[in-house]
Structure 1
Amino acid sequence: MEIVYVIEDFSIKGGAERIIAEKANYLASRFQHHVTIVSIYHDEHPISYHLEESVDFISLEIPFTPKNNSILLKTLFRIITMGKIIFKFQTIINRIQPKLIFYTMSLGAILLPLIKTKAKKVYESHSARSFTP
C-alpha cells in the first residue's frame, strides 16, 4: 500500500517527527508498505531521525516565511507560500497515488481539504499545544 506522511519540517528533533519516523519504519519493514514522508519546509539541517532505506523522504523545499513587520507583506507572502505548497504537494500526490495520507500539525489541517485525491485522509495531532482545526 502507498502511504504518505506530511509534516511541516522533518529536521526538527521533536515528538511528532520521532513518532512519524517510527511509524513509517514499522509500516515499511513489518508490512512492506511503500511509505513516503513529505516535509514541507526547507531546512539546512539533516533529518532528525533514522529512516529505513525503504522509506522515501521528499522535501518540498518551501522557504520559511521571512521576518517582516508589515502585516500586509506577511499576509501576501503566506498566501503565495500556501499556493506553492499546494501545487508542489499535489504534484507529488498525483505521482505517488497513495491510498492513505496522514497529515500532522496545523498546516496539515489546512492542506487536508485542499488536495485532490482518492486517498483516505487522516489528521493526526502530535502537539503539546491546544489546537482546534
Structure 2
Amino acid sequence: MMRRLLHKSRIFKLRKAATALIQIGVLYFFSLVGSYLAELLHLNFPGSLIGMGILFILLRLKIVSFKWVDIGGNWLLTELLLFFIPSVVAIIQYGQFLHQDGFDLFFIILIGTVTVMVSSGLTAELIIRSKRGKVS
C-alpha cells in the first residue's frame, strides 16, 4: 500500500515537471515570436516584452487558457532570483564604470525597483480581486 502511494506520488511529480517544461516552452515560444516581430518591424523594443504582451492579450481574450502557462510561469517566478546572478557577477567586471556613474546607476535601479514593486503589487491585487469576482 505504501509503495503504491510512493509510486503515485512520483508519477504526479514527474507529470508536474513535464507540464512545467512544456509550459516554459510555450512561454519561450511567445518570447521568440515577439523577438521575431521586433526584428521584422525594426522596433527598438525588447522582443520578449512584445511576446509577453501578445500572450497577455491572448489570455485576456481567452484564446489561450491560463492553465497552459500556470505551472511553468509560477516556477519561473519562483526561481527568478537565479536568473539575476550572472548579471550581478558581470557587473563586478566594470568597477571603473561603477566609480564614475555609480550614483546615477543606483538611482536608476532604485526607481526601477520601486516601479516594479508598485506595479506588481497593483497587478497582484487586480488578479486577486478578479478571482474573487470583485473587479471594478
TM-score computed with the length of structure 1 as normaliser = 0.30
Q: Which has the higher contact order (CA 8 A, sep 6+)?
A: 1
Based on CA coordinates, which of the two structures has the bigger radius of gyration?
2
